[in-house]
Structure 1
Amino acid sequence: MKLAILGDLHYHEADESTEAWVTARDAFYKKMLHHFMSAEADMHISLGDLTNFGTEREINEVYDIIEQYDASFFHVLGNHDTYSQTKRDLLTLTGQARYQALTMDKAILVFLDTTREMDLTNWGGWMDEEQLSWFENVIVSSGTKPMLVFAHHPIHLTTTGSDRDKGSIDPSIDMWRILSKKQGTAVYFNGHTHVDSITKQNNWTFVQLSACLDEHAFRMVELGDDYIDVTAVDIEDAELPKQLPEIHLHMKHFSPSAHARGTELERGCRVMLTNEQEQDVFVSADATAPGQGHV
């Protein structure tokens, strides 16, 4: 089973009176999404902030691009996606579930909603009691079957930047009370902080993706019989960086990150599943798997 995973995309509205901006915006996002959506995968997953302000226009325009491809697309909500309209209205537009769990042959895939609603002052993560209780039940009932979790915000004090104010799911929520109930191997994928990072705590591996405007890349995840491989795929397309000066000149609610790209150890890894009891072994990208690809 193969999954393609996208970090913060920040597709944004552009002023139609500024032709150069519109041209650059369209060129960047159509190219970026072409490379991502064309990747051979069973699922294509956005980790949130697919849009920059979550307006109806942004949602419709970016989905118009995505739906040109014959692919199974999943979109977890990011804080930027929820700035302009209620989640109910947003999900009506996208046709996505707010949160869900899918039981596959090799793993359980969990999609979380870690966002607040229409809150421009607090971009940190939050989960209500109903979802937390649901997530706990999913974890407990999963037994030792490998689990992959997809969310926008990181768990506090895991990946780079998760220690910042509003840089994670709110620290007042004891996420480890729930995560610690997982038996066997689990991997948690997130965006939000715009920095590549991979860490491991207990039986959980945390994989964080930077923003697409900073690093023109995505991740491929392969689930084998005894391993989970995470590989960084860098998009080598000269047209992408050419569009950035015009985009950054006009775009609001986004600042480029000078330190978005992590080391190879922060961009790819292999997690070994050693036996039925899932005593997982974390192996760095350069030791076992290439950890990086190119398209």
Structure 2
Amino acid sequence: MSANVIDVVGLSKNFGDLKVVENLNLQVAEGEICGFLGANGSGKTTTIRMLCGLLKPDAGTGRCLGYDIVRQPHQIRRQVGYMTQRFSLYEDLTVFENLDFVARVYEIGDRREAVRAITERMGLQNRRDQLAGQLSGGWKQRLALAACVLHRPKLLLLDEPTAGVDAKARREFWDIIHDMAVDGLTTLVSTHYMDEAERCERIVYLAQGRIVVQGSAAAVVAQSGLVIFEGIGDDVDRAAVALRQKPGVETAAVFGRALRIASLDREALKLAIEANGAGLAWTEVEPRLDDVFIHLLSVQEARR
């Protein structure tokens, strides 16, 4: 991975008085799988649409696939696969008919062979003649992904592609993404699922249109400074209610017979446990990515 497929500086976009993306700098290397994280309204979708030429930025410069994002949006769109949050193919057409239509739009030479190859790669052969509207959520996502990569794009932009899809279908979807990365396909994907974020080589967290933190999942966790204590025992729900009211306790979340409390202040957590943690066996544990994600959301809400 040498060249940057995405390289933008100072990217900004306003809708009226609302600043959606503000002075955003983003680089994504060739062949990289980069995760885009952030709360709803943090600017992820707007950024993706600017990168693929669907929205013109109000400020900023940069290139996507070597093309200027302001002056050459058409050239970018020809070489990008963009998958939106909602299923956007024709539900009254079959799997084959949808893919054949997409192949016509992109003027693919031997389109029937292209459709045959992509249905085989995505495991859609047995559903070739099934109406798209009759597919389950997981198979719809596979079809949508097949349509996105049918023209062999160099960059894949995925906007919460697995929302509402079961865990098995999500894992299979991500296996396909990693298989395509072997062939050099670059992917920028927004997600709210932490297990998906952990499958990315790098994650970029947005808040109010700005990048707050970026790096590998392990690096983001290490940089957070978050302290986690975990208590095991009975009646964790009652303990959680009490501990949430204590000064310095940022979150208190129950997982079965385990209670995890988080803060940037280790001493505050210890005092809270002494006051309301009796009956539980407490140990300090390593933060997880979901702990850091919730922490960043809390910081963002506090600043509003």
Larger proportion of helix: 2
TM-score by length of 1: 0.30
Calculate the TM-score normalised by the size of structure 2: 0.29
Structure showing greater Rg: 2
As a proportion of its length, which structure holds more strand?
2
